[in-house]
Chains A and B, each alone.
Chain A
Amino acid sequence: MKAFRALIKKELRFYFQSPIAYIILAAFLSVTGYMFYIYAGLLSIPGTPGIISVMRFFFGGTWLFWVLLLMIPPSITMRLFSEEYKTGTIEIIKTSPVKSWHVILSKIAGGYIFFLFLWLPTFSYVLIVALFGKPDMGPVICSYIGTSLAGLMLISIGVFTSSLSKNQLVSYTLAIAVSFIFLTIGVMEDFVSDADWKAVISFLSLPNNFANFPIGIIDLESVVYFISFSWFFTLLTFISYNMKGTNE
């Protein structure tokens, strides 16, 4: 466990010591701040339904949220393995007395902790809403749970694509491509007439699985969806990581 903790600490150290992490943080806060400003502004427009919840809009209410989920996780994960392959430090890691699982899980944990860290400042938006009204906290908490589950899946996708290439740009693009499929596959539902296929597409769609969280429902099926796909991509990373060693 000491080695595992050291590996996670190493990943986190790079996030908080490198300027890229602060650029990601700045970009994230700019976009979420802008989102909050727009949604809060909606309240002052005459004719807006009184029941409108700013935070419900914030989490998955518009495409801005999905763009954020599409772009941010790959930018966090792209360097995790690619950088190690490029600089050759993977040789140090692979010849150390640590299990492959520990290496992979430490990368996912490092990226995921940083992803969660990015969302911390958004609590201030909740605070502002709470100051001027009485928001229903149940849906807000569920939204954060949903976002963290979706984040785990997208981080796992990013770590997997990072394990495929020593080029960070390739890793980033691949992560965007795979995440894009999960985020937009729901659109295909309209083009398919077969009920079974519709069900499959609906099952695979990330926004469909996220939809219940902002209305305050934690759907067990969706939780299983996010955890299963996170596990699936972790498994793919394990295979890719071990294959890379034999054919380098």
Chain B
Amino acid sequence: MTLGQNRWLPHLILLVGVVIFVFPIYLTFIGSTHTAPTIARGDMPLTPGPEIVDNYRQALYSGVGERVRGTPAVMLLRNSMYMALAIVFGKIAISLLSAFAVVFFEFPGRMFFFWMIFITLMLPVEVRMIPTYAVVANLGMVDTFAGLTIPLIASATATLLFRQFFLTIPDELVDAAQIDGAGAMRFFWSVLLPLSRTNIAALFVIMFIYGWNQYLWPLIVTTSRGRETIVIGIVRMIGSGESATDWNMIMAVAMLALVPPVLIIILMQRWFVKGLVDPEK
């Protein structure tokens, strides 16, 4: 359907788009391969420098440079990874169970409970930050792993997605399972869970990125350096953004912060696109 149109124009516009999206990551990489003084003088070349190994080693294992007193990136990466995985598995587990209950059981208050979960879609963690912090503080969970992850686990999005998928499962399948003598939980494990694989993969990608990229909540809930996530850690390293700081190390940490989620999105693109775009929203 490009009758009479310029064949090269779409490619040209797309290439400009790609440059705008790839340029910053390229410069970040370049920044992570030069020395701090080279960058601070403002004459960083546009080609990779020789300091790549030293910079990443410093970022990963020390986190401390001339000006920056940061946390070693291995620790930051570990904290982010644990947080993201806890959020992902927590969200998927509780959402599978609650969607299963809402779709396959008849019980008093079914729709009421469904709406109770549904309405949480409207309250991002940011708006209820301070009262949620108060709850977490009362439970003694400030600066703990539980306090960091559990408030982020409740997920209307995942529940809605599984509910929608479960509604498309034909009644005959349930009949067949019941005739074969399978109880509810057996049906869940042996029929429903294997059928949900694609949806689980899609949610895995979306929720991993959501978890890895959390900012405001970790910022207020974690107080000790040892629990900092990499997104928080890097912003703390920048401080007020002076010219003469350890930009080489900061850029190495920036690369380390963006590689895991970017790899996941690129490797699992098919499921990610399906999970994000397909469900009727």
User: Does chain A bind chain B?
Assistant: no
